Chains A and B, each alone.
Chain A
């Protein structure tokens, strides 16, 4: 079974641009969560999607958005990038509501 796949692995963007990150969950998993990981802040919850619906959202500004498609693949978008958005963005998929979450390898975003 293929694991969670995130693309791209690395991105460099300039301030003010926007970016879209992609996450393909494990086949059969319907829940996808997104996290921002920085050295100082650990793993911060962004949002969670299940069956194309956003069920939960973390404390991030509206510049951070996401969506989920009917095949459970998910994207997150960050508009008007700021230097502080530089981080590793991780997605995790799980089969049900609570249970083991499997993480992708992440997308490392650098904003210059």
Chain B
């Protein structure tokens, strides 16, 4: 159905360690996969996105991987810092390129 599953719902990592958040989508025609970060009391902001013609994209400490066969995509944050603490949302189109469905969110906490 119209669903983007996101795991885990909460994640706590030691500062400096890596964090991985995984999502699964249902529409095999989906071709655009953004990730948003929402800090407490603020609006969601795009941090990285990937299109279906590539398998991986990296931007400094953040990377996203895409497995179209399995309909999985993941967010990787390396060398985590306190400012990485936030809720992260994955998203994917469903049935239409302009209908973007969000995952349920992952609350990431960075332990000092």
Q: Which residues of A contact B (CB under 8 A)?
A: 31, 33, 35, 41-45, 48, 50, 55-56, 58-59, 90, 97-106
Give A39 Cβ to nearest chain B Cβ, in Å. Answer: 10
Query: Could you say which interface size class chain B belongs to?
Result: 20 to 34
Chain A binding surface, main DSSP class: strand
From B2, B31, B42, B100, A101 is in contact (CB under 8 Å) with: B100
Known: A50-B98, A103-B44. 6 other contacts (CB 8 A): A42-B102, A44-B102, A55-B99, A56-B95, A98-B98, A100-B46
B101 within 8 A of A: yes
Mark interface residues in B13-47 (1 if CB within 8 Å of A CB, else 0).
00000000000000000011010100000111110
Give A3 Cβ to nearest chain B Cβ, in Å. Answer: 9
Given A42-B104, A100-B49, check contact A90 B98 (CB 8 Å).
no
Give the CA-CA distance A50 to B99 in the complex, in Å.
11
CB nearest to A42 among chain B residues: B104
Give the CA-CA distance A48 to B45 in the complex, in Å.
18
Residues of A within 8 A of B49 (CB): 100
Residues of A within 8 A of B103 (CB): 42
Give B103 Cβ to nearest chain A Cβ, in Å. Answer: 7
From A31, A102, A103, B98 is in contact (CB under 8 Å) with: A31
Residues of B within 8 A of A104 (CB): 43
